[in-house]
């Protein structure tokens, strides 16, 4: 696909990034003078970006060549490396722009009410604006270097948002954990960019994708695996998934922003954008599939055992992003399916997180579902909007998740080989587990007897919070059908991924749809059997099965990371410090002490008396004379 110079509104697409970035600058530099209206400015900049994104997308749709480039300035010019700062507006980036700014605008509006009484509200909106700007740069950049700048900007902004309540030790620790684990993945992305430049002499999408076919197979596979490492870090995929549930320590709008439409989808975007690389390496695609299948199962199992409402939703995100990785790992037949699920997920998961925030707002920031119960009467709007998001997530027939998740599982089975059947079976099992843990959440939160503490008076959230939840609930209901049936996403993305291949179904789609519905209903029934029809104890039971204990510890992900990486790293650091103190510093200090002691002792021979020096001269002369006589006599 050729990229033509942008004209009209598309030539001003840089404003998509500049508007929220300017908002962040004003709020951070303006200080307390902007406290009274800072939240309004922060929201207005993102809404303006959304409107501009809509207009740019409409203009793009009218172009014959569905790709427009904006050249800005020289970013790096050093030797053979010449990187131009520029933007690429094509169907893929347009899709992400609308998702980021659309859902981001709703989250900003919701935050006006949620953070109304927080003294740091202005700073919070500045960080939100910075996050949106960095994410937009990530998806709009026309090179891997531009993507990397946005990538690191998202990492910085997420650190600031997760640690927003930095006086809480848990929040500070979670932010540091997210930052460090993301840096591990970022090393892979950086090495991939270095490899591109060393082998192809360029980092632009056009140059890399045009020349990747000339590389050796091993080099292409290495590129794919390094990019995957970066994607795993940002999207919370195995083995770098442990940071994502801990990120729940930030304010709930942050959880919605990070876990729904933005940060966690960056890895999926990276792999989809790098499709020309993955299309040439079956090995890398297989690894992407395996990582996705393993992660979606880990997330689903862990989600079954937690009582923290936000952490259950966080592990659900881990699992759902795993479905997207599984899809994009399928290659051309899976890119559109994975991205369709990404869009639908943006609606229902953002709605679920905002609904969880509404529950917390009503329950004095309580997150333990064992302290909820019977809230459907007290929070009717929250219950309905949350319920629609729940049904969409579990794949209830004809809601968004039903269409998008089914499409992924169909494409997986259509491989027709052992890997396809194995990963497809895992995906079906995880769908049942998803229905179980989300139904468990619904029963514990909204049904049964009230279990909240004395002094808590649940109440519905203000309209500034409920209206965004209603909009997202509508998207949760209709987005899947619109993307798959009425306005196929495959047609919109055809200029990026090519014309979709005609699928040869190994198993009839109707059969898979019926099977998934049955599995979903089994999960719902089991949740009712074990939770819904029983009295929920206020205290979590201690005597549980080994599987439950493992699930409560996220299948020991932290333990594994600490054992394999953190503690060996600490031991290595201590050994190096010991060697530095006793070895390097010891040698230097020992040499200095030796020289100092020797000079001190030699200094004592300098008495300052003339007779002493004369005697020394006489003694030396006698020795020299004696030596000369001995030599002469010999």
pLDDT 10s digits, 415-473: 888 999 999 999 999 999 999 999 999 999 999 888 888 778 888 999 999 999 999 99
pLDDT at 150: 95
pLDDT at 634: 62
Predicted structure pTM score = 0.89
Judged by DSSP in three states, 498 sits in: coil
Whose CA is closest to 410, among 490, 510, 491? 510
**Bridge partners of residue 190, in order along the sequence:** none
Q: Which single residue is written with the structure tokens 């700048």?
A: 149
User: Burial letters for 385-399: b for 16+ Cβ neighbours within 10 Å, e otherwise?
Assistant: bbbbbbbbbbbbeeb
pLDDT at 115: 92
Query: Could you give the CA distance from residue 440 to residue 432 in angstroms, rounded to a whole number?
Result: 12
End-to-end CA distance of the chain, in Å? 99
pLDDT at 352: 94
pLDDT at 420: 92
pLDDT at 74: 86
pLDDT at 2: 63
- Residue ranges of the chain whose pLDDT lies below 50: none
Cis status, amide bond into 479, omega within 30 of 0 = no
Percent of the chain with pLDDT over 70: 98
Instruction: Give the domain ranges of the chain.
Output: 146-545, 561-597+608-633
Query: Could you give the CA distance from residue 248 to residue 100 in angstroms, rounded to a whole number?
Result: 20
Query: Could you give the CA distance from residue 355 to residue 389 in angstroms, rounded to a whole number?
Result: 9
pLDDT at 441: 95
């Amino acid at each position: 696909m050729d990229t033509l110079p942008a004209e009209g509104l598309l030539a001003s697409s840089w404003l998509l990034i500049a508007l929220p970035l300017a908002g962040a600058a004003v709020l951070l530099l303006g200080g307390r003078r902007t406290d009274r209206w800072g939240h309004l400015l922060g929201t207005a900049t993102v809404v303006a970006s959304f409107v501009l994104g809509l207009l740019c997308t409409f203009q793009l749709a009218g172009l014959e060549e569905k790709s427009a480039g904006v050249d800005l300035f020289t970013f790096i010019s050093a030797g053979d490396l010449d990187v131009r700062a520029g933007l690429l507006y094509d169907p893929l980036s347009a899709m992400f722009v609308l998702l980021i700014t659309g859902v981001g605008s709703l989250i900003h509006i919701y935050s006006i009410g949620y953070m109304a009484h927080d003294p740091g509200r202005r700073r919070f909106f500045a960080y939100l604006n910075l996050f949106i700007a960095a994410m937009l740069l990530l998806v709009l950049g026309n090179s891997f270097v531009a993507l990397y700048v946005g990538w690191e900007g998202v990492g910085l902004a997420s650190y600031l948002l997760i640690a927003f309540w930095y006086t809480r030790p848990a929040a500070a620790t979670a932010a540091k954990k997210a930052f460090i684990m993301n840096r591990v993945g970022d090393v892979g992305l950086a090495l991939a960019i270095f490899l591109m430049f060393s082998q192809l002499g360029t980092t632009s999408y056009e140059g890399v994708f045009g020349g990747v076919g000339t590389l050796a197979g091993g080099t292409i596979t290495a590129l794919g695996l390094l990019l995957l490492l970066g994607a795993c870090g940002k999207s919370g995929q195995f083995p770098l998934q442990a940071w994502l549930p801990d990120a729940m320590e930030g304010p709930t709008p942050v959880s919605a922003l990070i876990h729904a439409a933005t940060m966690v989808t960056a890895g999926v975007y990276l792999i989809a954008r790098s499709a020309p690389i993955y299309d040439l390496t079956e090995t890398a695609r297989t690894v992407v599939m395996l990582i996705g299948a393993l992660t979606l199962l880990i997330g689903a199992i862990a989600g079954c055992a937690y009582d923290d409402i936000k952490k259950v939703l966080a592990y659900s995100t881990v699992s759902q992003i795993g479905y997207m990785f599984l899809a994009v790992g399928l290659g051309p037949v899976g890119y559109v399916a994975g991205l369709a699920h990404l869009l639908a997920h943006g609606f229902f998961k953002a709605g679920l997180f905002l609904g969880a925030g509404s529950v917390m707002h009503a329950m004095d920031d309580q997150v333990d579902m064992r302290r909820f119960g019977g809230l459907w009467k007290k929070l009717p709007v929250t219950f309905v909007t949350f319920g629609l998001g729940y049904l969409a997530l579990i794949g209830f027939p004809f809601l968004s998740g039903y269409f998008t998740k089914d499409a992924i599982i169909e494409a997986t089975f259509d491989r027709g080989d052992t890997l396809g059947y194995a990963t497809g079976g895992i995906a079906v099992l995880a769908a049942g587990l998803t229905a179980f843990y989300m139904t468990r959440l619904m029963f514990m939160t909204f049904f049964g007897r009230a279990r909240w503490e004395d002094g808590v008076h649940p109440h519905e959230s203000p309209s500034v919070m409920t209206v965004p939840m209603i909009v997202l609930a509508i998207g949760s209901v209709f987005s899947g059908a619109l993307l798959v049936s009425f306005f196929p996403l495959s047609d919109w993305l055809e200029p990026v991924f090519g014309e979709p291949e005609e699928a040869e179904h190994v198993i009839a789609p109707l059969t898979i749809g019926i099977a998934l519905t049955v599995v979903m209903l089994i999960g719902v029934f089991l949740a009712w059997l074990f939770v819904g029809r029983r009295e929920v104890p206020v205290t979590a039971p201690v005597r549980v099965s080994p599987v439950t204990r493992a699930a409560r510890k996220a299948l020991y992900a932290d333990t594994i990371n600490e054992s394999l990486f953190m503690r060996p790293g600490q031991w290595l650091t201590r050994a190096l410090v010991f060697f530095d103190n006793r070895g390097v510093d010891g040698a230097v200090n020992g040499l200095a002490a030796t020289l100092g002691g020797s000079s001190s002792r030699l200094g004592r021979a300098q008495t300052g008396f003339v007779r002493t020096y004369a005697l020394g001269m006489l003694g030396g002369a006698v020795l020299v004379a004696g030596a000369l006589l001995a030599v002469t006599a010999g």
